[in-house]
Amino acid sequence: MHIVVCIKQVPDSAQIRVHPVTNTIMRQGVPAIINPFDLFAIEEALQLKDRYGARVTVLTMGPPQAEVALRKAVAYGADEMVLLTDRAFAGADTLATSYALAQAIRKLGEEEPVDLVLTGKQTIDGDTAQVGPGIARRLDLQLLTYVSAITDLDPGGKTIEVQRRSEGGVQVIRTRLPALVTVLEGGSTIRFATMPNMFRAERQPVQQWNREQAGIDDVGKIGLKGSPTVVSKIFTPRAGNRRAKMIGAEMGSAGEVASAVLDLLGSEHPRFARELGLAAP
């Protein structure tokens, strides 16, 4: 069985700051991490490998530094790594990204047919959850999003059964391979890499593919050119902060503060207070 896991290196957005004057993102010193949701995709692949035996290839599209993310995946236990890197890929939106990744997966399939593609639920930078569905459409894979558990998989019979989160409940779906599964977070705990895998991750060469090597002839389908969406404006959220009305600094006891808040609610939001049953005593 051949499993491809798509992972993305993202800036740790918890540590991103916006320049107070120029409104631009200050990336300096912001560590790059594997998109946290993708760790669950990697873990799922490794569990399938443990259960059924599989070759696990990790694939990313990004700048040369993104190879750090791939090496990390190999440290967890993935077998091979492919880095799609080319200036022509820059500026891709989800449509162009899914095209490039799909082409690379197609190419990987020439060596050994790909049975399963795994992605994270979404990224924390793009945050769209669109790349997975996009790849599935392009490769005509069965799409299974928000999967919390792969309950059954038959590599020989080419079937897969999953539980996927949907609004108000969990859907149990059975379908055929090849499929693309976007993995929900929290389903399992991420393993701790073994020392031999750590060594292998550092030493194993990364396969780097540029546009041609990834089997892409039409530059109009990738990067900025292949992206139907255009970012027309970037700005900071509503500058007009409404500073809170502060209560109680001078008020004294917690009880008095609480009373004051309720009084204020009553006088400034009479309708709400009334409906709550809170007319002034």
CB nearer to ligand FAD: pick between 132 and 223: 132
The binder of 62, among ligand AMP, ligand FAD, other proteins, none, by C-beta within 5 to 8 A per type, is ligand AMP
**Binds ligand AMP (CB under 6 A): choice among 33, 34, 38, 139:** 38
**Binds other proteins (CB under 8 A): choice among 156, 157, 220, 277:** 277
Would you count residue 71 as binding other proteins (CB under 8 A)?
A: no
Distances (CA, A) of 32 to 14, 56, 74, 231: 11, 23, 17, 23
From CA 158, how far away is CA 180, in angstroms rounded? Answer: 13
Both tokens assigned to 171: 């859907």
Would you count residue 161 as binding other proteins (CB under 8 A)?
A: yes
CA angle 178, 180, 186 (to 5 degrees): 135
**Binds ligand AMP (CB under 6 A): choice among 85, 94, 145, 227:** 94
Tell me whether the omega of the peptide bond preceding residue 178 falls within 30 degrees of 0, making it cis: yes
Both tokens assigned to 100: 């490039």
Would you count residue 128 as binding ligand AMP (CB under 6 A)?
A: yes
From CA 172, how far away is CA 156, in angstroms rounded? Answer: 21
Interacting span for other proteins (CB under 8 A) from 47-55, 103-111, 173-181, 209-217: 173-181
Q: Mark residues 245-264: x for contact with other proteins by CB under 8 A, - for none.
A: xxxxx---xxx-xxx-xx-x
From CA 107, how far away is CA 196, in angstroms rounded? Answer: 29
Would you count residue 10 as binding ligand AMP (CB under 6 A)?
A: no
- Tell which positions 18-37 bind other proteins, by CB under 8 A: 18, 20-21, 23, 25, 29, 31
From CA 148, how far away is CA 19, in angstroms rounded? Answer: 38
Would you count residue 61 as binding ligand AMP (CB under 6 A)?
A: yes
**Binds ligand AMP (CB under 6 A): choice among 42, 44, 62, 227:** 62
Distances (CA, A) of 210 to 29, 78, 113, 153, 217: 28, 22, 21, 34, 11
From CA 92, how far away is CA 216, in angstroms rounded? Answer: 14
* Position closest to ligand AMP via CB: 120
CB nearer to ligand AMP: pick between 109 and 248: 109
CB nearer to ligand AMP: pick between 117 and 153: 117
Number of residues engaging ligand AMP in binding (CB under 6 A): 25
Interacting span for ligand AMP (CB under 6 A) from 2-10, 141-149, 233-241, 244-252: 2-10
From CA 201, how far away is CA 26, in angstroms rounded? Answer: 30
- Three-state SS for 218? coil
Q: Which residues bind ligand AMP (CB under 6 A)?
A: 6-8, 35, 37-38, 41, 59-62, 94, 97, 101, 119-120, 122-123, 126-132
